[in-house]
Amino acid sequence: MSAPQQRRHLNATELISTVLDPESFRSWDSPVADPDPSPEYRQELAAAREKTGVDESVLTGEGLFRGRRVAVVVSEFRFLAGSIGLAAAERVVNAVERATREGLPLLAGPASGGTRMQEGTTAFLSMVTITAAVRAHRQAGLPYLVYLRHPTTGGVMASWGSLGHITVAEPGALLGFLGPRVYEALHGEPFPENVQMAENLFDKGLVDAVVSPGQLPDIVDRALSILVAGPPPQVRPPRTLTVGPSDAGAWDSIAISRNPRRPDLRQLLAYGTRDALPLNGTGQGEKDLGLLLALARFGQMSCVVLGHTRPRPSQQTAMGPASLREARRGMRLAEELGLPLVTVIDTGGAALSREAEEGGLAGEIARSLHDLIGLDCPTVSVLMGQGTGGGALALFPADRTIAAQHAWLAPLPPEGASAIVHRSTEFAADVAEAQGVDVASLHAHGMVEHIVDERGGAALEGRAFCQRLGQAIEYELAQLSSSDLAELMPRRLEKYRNVGALMGSHRASRWMNSDLAHREARQRR
């Protein structure tokens, strides 16, 4: 890996010119009022201004990004290492608050050593003020996108550098809380190599992507095209609205759903969306291959998507607790940005391991259910394939649920349920039928509202199936977008409040018939 200092890093003006439309930038900066500096500090400020041609360590303003009006806050590292004193903090706060008032997306490009040491604790406390301004911007439902540049450390990394809805980083950038020079001075030894590198932070789920300044405009464009949605469009009803449940039995559907060639969420995003921008990890140092999180556009409808991924050869992707912490990040994003949420269920079961238990898997399932059932935005769940156990349940509750014809939902794999009830896996097919795990049962009892057909099984027509499913999702999102948010949650709660009454008698009769058949089979043996 190349050392960061071997790369050329753009200054603030160059970055602004790279990202914004030509000659569209308009500064919001007014002359700074310096604190009462010592003679030495006064000389440092004068030298920094002469060297850089700017009056402080941040530049703020607005411009056009591919014709869209946006606000920008960009650090100038050459000015006293991009450090934030009171004047710089005031400039950042004023820019963030103006962006909020004017309803603008905000693009931040920090590159800083942190708080300005010459101004001490008062400058340090200004990180609180900046964080409060960013919080208000996010609470207004406005996008806040962060591009972490080399280097970003200290109070800046620990405040406005780490609060983006989407956070991408410059290749080779040094990013962290404690600068390596400070660490070495305090501990008498170098900080471990490559820990604070952008690429390592991506691997740990702390940043969403690592892109060069030249690639940044494309990422920003894709993000804003999804995040800044226009009025709800009219979407034509898809043909899948007339599709009914398959007449295959539950066990046949389970076998079809287990086909290793069956498409999963990755193919749905590739073939069923207009665009999908993957996000990465929890943003808190965890990344689990069992779940995928993305911003996406199904046709004309923008949303946040999260869901299970099927295992690939040599990969273990059973859903662990970090998967659900990443899912909850997606839920918070959807709620904060006012986007609908789409969850995709397709799991053979959550991880069964010491690490999962000690990581709090059961608690994360509970918290996921807690957040999802009360989410203050429209929700659509998609039962795409297997739906086993708490890992499936954690993503299931929604205003509307779409299911593939051969999907299913069960508390355990049928083999496991058979072992509990009959002390043998021999009766798995009968147990699956008795439990009502198939889409026909779920649809009959109002838990699935929209069914997408499988023509011989989704594995045989992956692209076409994903396109049909994408159209169904677009339609359901469009229908929900015209609903009053205040009405959504009561209807959602009522839907699940009635599930026991709707399904109880039907399930009991199935169990009675199944149990009688099993007794007769045992007597024959």
Q: What are phi and psi of 301, to 5 degrees?
A: -105, 125
Which residues face 68 on adjacent strands?
65
CA angle at 450 for the pair 444 and 451, rounded to the nearest 5°: 85
3-state secondary structure of 12: helix
Provide the pLDDT for residue 317.
64
The radius of gyration of the chain's CA atoms, rounded to the nearest angstrom, is 27
DSSP 325-389: HHHHHHHHHHHHHT--EEEEEEES-B--SHHHHHTTHHHHHHHHHHHHHT-SS-EEEEEEEEEBH
* AA letter at 8: R
What pLDDT does residue 505 have? 47
Q: Which residues pair with 210 in a beta bridge?
A: 169
* Token duo for residue 416: 């496991």
Domains of the chain, first to last:
7-226 (3.90.226.10), 238-524 (3.90.226.10)
Cα distance between residue 51 and residue 48, in whole Å? 5
Question: How far apart are the C-alpha atoms of 382 and 371, rounded to whole Å?
Answer: 17
Q: What is the pTM of this model?
A: 0.91
Confidence at residue 7, expressed as pLDDT on a 0 to 100 scale: 73
CB 371 within 8 A of CB 344: no
Question: What is the separation of C-alpha 475 from the centre of its chain, rounded to a whole number of angstroms?
Answer: 22
Q: How far is the CA of 290 from the CAs of 263, 317, 336, 348, 415, in angstroms?
A: 15, 4, 24, 11, 22
**H or E segment at 218?**
helix 216-227
Confidence (pLDDT) at 315? 63
Spans of the chain, pLDDT less than 50: 1-5, 504-525
d(CA 181, CA 57): 21
- List helix spans (H) across 67-112: 86-101
- The 10s digit of each residue's pLDDT in 371-411 is 999 999 999 999 999 999 999 999 999 999 999 999 999 99
What is the C-alpha to C-alpha distance for residues 261 and 264, in angstroms, rounded to an integer? 9
What is the model's pLDDT at position 513? 47
Q: What is the pLDDT of residue 376?
A: 94
**Contact indicator for 441, 408 with CB cutoff of 8 Å:** no
